[in-house]
Amino acid sequence: MPITGYSHVRLTVTDIARSRAFYDEVFGFDVAFEVPADADAATREKLWFVFDGVIYQVPGGLLGLRPTAPAGDRFDENRVGLDHLSLGVDSRADLDAVVAKLDALGVAHEPVKDIGMGFLLEFRDPDGIALELMAPAEG
């Protein structure tokens, strides 16, 4: 079975408005699918797979947010399931630009780390989901 790439990842969140604001502000992904607020029954049925969340188009696939976690639930990378979500950027300069954006938004983050094979920036979304951005080593 030859795998051709990643198709999609969906993250379960507690509050779609809060999570969507975070992902929109930090990443600015294009929306691939969402159910319009004024959608009729036929449209809602056609877009059942959105689960009242949002699905973003990201390079190489899709990233969805599904608002089904109970209020107060928090992500824990030490439980079975997702450890973290890592997305690639082109350069260390891109990471520095994201650091400035995170600082402006008041989002806590680790410093950019040189891990030999590249550079890494770690932070968390509003539900505590561990996110990282990675840039290749320069040179």
CA–CA gap between residue 96 and residue 12 (Å, rounded): 28
* Contact call for residues 123 and 107 (beta carbons, < 8 A): yes
57 pairs with which residues across the strands? Answer: 30, 62
Domains of the chain, by residue range, sit at 1-70, 83-139
Mean pLDDT by 10 residues, the chain (139 residues): 87 95 96 95 96 94 93 87 93 97 98 96 97 91
The phi and psi torsions of 93 (rounded to 5 degrees) equal -60, -35
* Contact call for residues 23 and 65 (beta carbons, < 8 A): yes
> What is the pLDDT at residue 39?
95
Superfamily holding 83-139: 2,3-Dihydroxybiphenyl 1,2-Dioxygenase, domain 1 (3.10.180.10)
pTM recorded for the entire structure: 0.91
Q: 1-70 adopts what CATH topology?
A: 3.30.720
> What is the pLDDT at residue 1?
82
> What is the pLDDT at residue 84?
94
